[in-house]
Amino acid sequence: MKAALRSCAITLLLVLSGSAAAQQAALDPSAEMQKQFAEAYNKGDLDAMAGHFTEDAMRVTPSGIFKGRDAIRRGFQDALKLGLHDYSVKRVSSRTDGKFIFNIGEWRAKVGEQPLHGYYTAILVQGDGLPRIMEETVAVAAP
């Protein structure tokens, strides 16, 4: 009888911990925002891409410094004109401090069939809905 109870308790703990992990992933608004941004990028949806940034966001890239959502949108437009596609991002680390989320990670894309990759840091601000990027720095990895 004790063995059966122990087995039931272990099973219940495994189910609850698996459920908690699934809920944790579902509750990560930063990951959801990154997923939606990558989808928008690969569709070439400039408005959706820019919409993931705050109105006064700043973005530093190898192409320059972009201040404000409109400038960031134009920067993405130039990147898409170059033929950048198959964009994906992998967050390496994330931490939250109050309403801010600090992310670092890697990105990958292609120009034609030429693969590119690099790294990023992003500061996101939480508000209503998904967090928005208020500051991002993007670097291209050395060959």
Read off the CATH number of the domain in which 110 is found. Answer: 3.10.450.50
Residue 110 is assigned to a structural domain of this protein: yes
- Considering only CA atoms, which of 52, 59, 65 is closest in space to residue 121? 59
Does some domain include residue 57? yes
Instruction: State how far the alpha carbon of 59 is from the alpha carbons of 54, 62, 71, 142, in Å.
Output: 11, 10, 9, 20
Neighbours of 85 (CB within 10 A): 14
Q: 51 burial class (0-12, 13-18, 19+ CB within 10 angstroms)?
A: middle
Between 143 and 71, the more confident residue is: 71
Report d(CA 135, CA 67) in Å as an integer.
Answer: 9
**Mean pLDDT value of segment 119-133:** 93
What is the span of the domain harbouring residue 41?
Answer: 28-140
Q: Give pLDDT tens digits for 29-42.
A: 888 999 999 999 99
Residue 41 lies in a domain: yes
13, pLDDT greater than 70: no
**pLDDT 10s digits, 96-118:** 999 999 999 999 999 999 999 99
Tell whether 52 is covered by a domain: yes
Q: Considering its fold, how many domains does the chain have in total?
A: 1
Assess contact for 126 and 29: CB atoms under 8 A: yes
Backbone angles phi, psi at 99, to 5 degrees: -90, 5
Query: Considering the entire predicted model, what is its pTM?
Result: 0.78
In the block, tokens 């990670």 appear at 105
Residue 20 in domain: no
Helix, strand or coil for residue 65? strand
Q: Is residue 9 part of a domain?
A: no
